[in-house]
Structure formats: structure tokens, C-alpha cells
């Protein structure tokens, strides 16, 4: 699957936190997050491994109460079922990948332009 970039299709899930699911399959899902300075992602956990990469901005990420201030180029990996939360220190953009794919994030798929379905026949 190839998906064309679009600046449209973001959904606010928490005040100051917008998401767009970019692409996915049965095993993995990738989303882009637009994060506004001052937004708070409350503590939560889920049964998915979560990896991320900060493209722009600055966030403070807590994983099991261990805090790190992240800047562009930094990345993280959160094992399944670990509690985590975040404070957005400045307007930021992050890409996150979840495995297995998060079915609850399928509702954030934008009607992107499928260039080619790479599934073997």
C-alpha cells in the first residue's frame, strides 16, 4: 500500500492533539500526530508496542514515570501494557507506529489516494 501525502484529514482526539492514520495492515499501523504546545496526553496503556519519532518541536514523554525531554530526531519504543503520558512543550509533529495495529485508530484513516496496492495475488 502506498498513500499520498495530504495536509487534510486530521481529527482532534484530545484538546491540542490531532491524529491522522497514514497506512496500516493486519500487523502494524502508522499515524501522524500534530501536537499543540501545552497539550497533555493523559497516562494510559494499551496492548500494542508503540514506537515513535519526533519530527518537529519538543515533548516530555513519561514511560513508567521515567521522563525524557525529546527533540527532533529523537525516538522511543514503549512496550505493550506500559503506562505512559506526555506533555507537549512546543508545537510538535510525531510519527508513531503500533504493533499489532490499533483497530481503534482505523477511524482516523483519511480518504487518502491509494497509489498501488502491493498485496501479492
Strand, coil or helix: 56: strand
Number of residues in the chain = 121
Note if the pTM is more than 0.85: yes
| Close Cβ partners of 34 (under 8 Å, ≥ 6 residues apart) | 10, 17, 18, 19, 92, 93
Tell me the pLDDT tens digit for each residue of 27-78.
Answer: 999 999 999 999 999 999 999 999 999 999 999 999 999 999 999 999 999 9
> How does the average pLDDT of the chain come out, rounded?
91
Cell digits of residue 118: 502491493
Band of pLDDT at residue 2, cut at 50, 70 and 90: confident
Domains of the chain with bracketed CATH:
11-105 (2.60.120.10)
* Burial classification of residue 98, based on how many CB atoms lie within 10 Å of its CB (0-12 exposed, 13-18 middle, 19 or more buried): buried
Amino acid at each position: 500500500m502506498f498513500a499520498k501525502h495530504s495536509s487534510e484529514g486530521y481529527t482532534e482526539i484530545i484538546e491540542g492533539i490531532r491524529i491522522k492514520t497514514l497506512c496500516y495492515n493486519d500487523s502494524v499501523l502508522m499515524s501522524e500526530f500534530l501536537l499543540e504546545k501545552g497539550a497533555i496526553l493523559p497516562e494510559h496503556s494499551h496492548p500494542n508496542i508503540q514506537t515513535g519519532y519526533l519530527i518537529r518541536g519538543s515533548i516530555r514523554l513519561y514511560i513508567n514515570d521515567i521522563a525524557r525531554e525529546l527533540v527532533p530526531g529523537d525516538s522511543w519504543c514503549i512496550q505493550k501494557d506500559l503506562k505512559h503520558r506526555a506533555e507537549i512543550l512546543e508545537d510538535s509533529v510525531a510519527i508513531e507506529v503500533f504493533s499489532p495495529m490499533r483497530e481503534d485508530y482505523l477511524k482516523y484513516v483519511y480518504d487518502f489516494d491509494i497509489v498501488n496496492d502491493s498485496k501479492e495475488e
